[in-house]
Structure 1
Amino acid sequence: MPEDARPYPSASPLNGKDLSQLLTTAHQLCESRGTRLTPIRRKVLEILLREQRSLKAYELLDLIRAIQPGAAPPTVYRALDFLVEQHLVHRLDAINAWAACMDAAGNHHDILVVCTRCGAVAELSDPALSRQLAERVAQSGFRLVSSETELRAECSTCGKTQDVCSNSSAVL
């Protein structure tokens, strides 16, 4: 990994921060931008931070309904849209899910590595690689419309627990 590439989160839970500290930072960022972190938005962010993995919208809805039984899909989608706009959450097109940004007040994460088995996400910042990619895209006659690149991968935990049957060609 290049010297300026930084993976997030670190091995420690919540990137070395406690949940209340991350939520306070999110609240302060919203206030400084003239927006509000409403209770439902805060709860969606809290769930994503606590889970430390990506979640699909209906998984989030189920967790919200445990607290707010009347919650409906548009409520969760609106909260997610807001959190993405505020760069507090990443939208993961590769797996149709969302993950909390573990360093919202810090570096921009231009590369997201997504485990397609468990939903774990690593946030990477590699400006040199991103510039090189943008240049190559421009050389091919295109213009990047998003600054985030998603890489589908398998995390080390899932790699260790790979199903033995998936590598065999046994005939029943």
Structure 2
Amino acid sequence: MMQIDSVIQHAEQHCKQRGVRLTTKRKQVLSALVQSNKALSAYDLIEHCKELFDQSIPAMSIYRILEFLETEHLVHKLSLANKYVACAHICCSHGHGVPQFLICGKCNKVKEITIPASTIDELKQNAQQAGFTLVSQQLEMNCVCDDCLKDAA
């Protein structure tokens, strides 16, 4: 699990270098995502911010904050689950491959892994041959985590 203080510090530095601010509420939302080991919806984040920071943040503000954090590559929106996760690579200073998300359909736990760009290139070619254009390189896979699998046994 990521160290929250370290993540926030790196995120602040990232934002400062890009000429934008990581406000207190943006930090709170990012912290809530980092502390969670699963994907959270905007409404989950409203509850988390109430519990963790005693802050009541309106839904529209949460959505604007998430949009900012996504634009700054600090969080990822998972279309499959319509939820958000903190980027696993906030503290890294080097480039990574294409993100792929393994999402547990039972408990919403998410694991971000990277796949080689060559795999995406192959997928793009296959899509083009089928008459489609790949719009997003982000891959999301509906899975069951080992913990949920054990619980089901």
Residue 8 of structure 2 is matched in structure 1 by: 23
Question: In the alignment, does 2:88 pair up with 1:88?
Answer: no
Mapped to 1, the partners of 2:97 and 2:20 lie a distance apart of: 20
Find the partner of 2:62 among 70, 76, 85: 76
Mapped to 2, the partners of 1:87 and 1:30 lie a distance apart of: 10
Structure 2 contact 26–69 (Cα < 8 Å) conserved: yes
- The share of aligned pairs that are identical, in percent, is 30
Alpha-carbon offset, residue 144 of structure 1: 1.4
Alpha-carbon offset, residue 65 of structure 1: 2.7
Mapped to 2, the partners of 1:21 and 1:134 lie a distance apart of: 36
Q: How does 1:106-117 map to 2 (within 5 A)?
A: 106=94, 107-117=96-106
Structure 2 contact 49–56 (Cα < 8 Å) conserved: no
Residue 169 of structure 1 is matched in structure 2 by: none
Question: In the alignment, does 2:133 pair up with 1:143?
Answer: yes
5+ long unaligned stretches in structure 2: none
Find the partner of 1:131 among 101, 117, 121: 121
When the two chains are superposed, the root-mean-square deviation of aligned CA atoms in Å is: 1.6
Find the partner of 1:98 among 74, 84, 88: 84
Stretch moving more, 50-59 or 100-109: 100-109
User: Structure 2 counterpart of 1:40, which letter?
Assistant: K
User: Structure 2 counterpart of 1:101, which letter?
Assistant: C
Mapped to 2, the partners of 1:51 and 1:145 lie a distance apart of: 29
Higher RCO structure (Cα 8 Å, ≥6 apart): 1
Residue 4 of structure 1 is matched in structure 2 by: none
Structure 1 contact 52–100 (Cα < 8 Å) conserved: no
SS for the counterpart of 2:22 is coil
TM-score if structure 1 supplies the norm length?
0.80
Residue 26 of structure 2 is matched in structure 1 by: 41
Mapped to 2, the partners of 1:109 and 1:44 lie a distance apart of: 24
Larger radius of gyration: 1
Mapped to 1, the partners of 2:97 and 2:10 lie a distance apart of: 16
5+ long unaligned stretches in structure 1: 1-12, 165-172
Mapped to 1, the partners of 2:106 and 2:56 lie a distance apart of: 31
Mapped to 2, the partners of 1:43 and 1:70 lie a distance apart of: 11
Structure 2 contact 46–56 (Cα < 8 Å) conserved: no
Alpha-carbon offset, residue 128 of structure 1: 2.3
Structure 1 contact 113–153 (Cα < 8 Å) conserved: yes
Alpha-carbon offset, residue 113 of structure 1: 1.1
Alpha-carbon offset, residue 108 of structure 1: 4.5
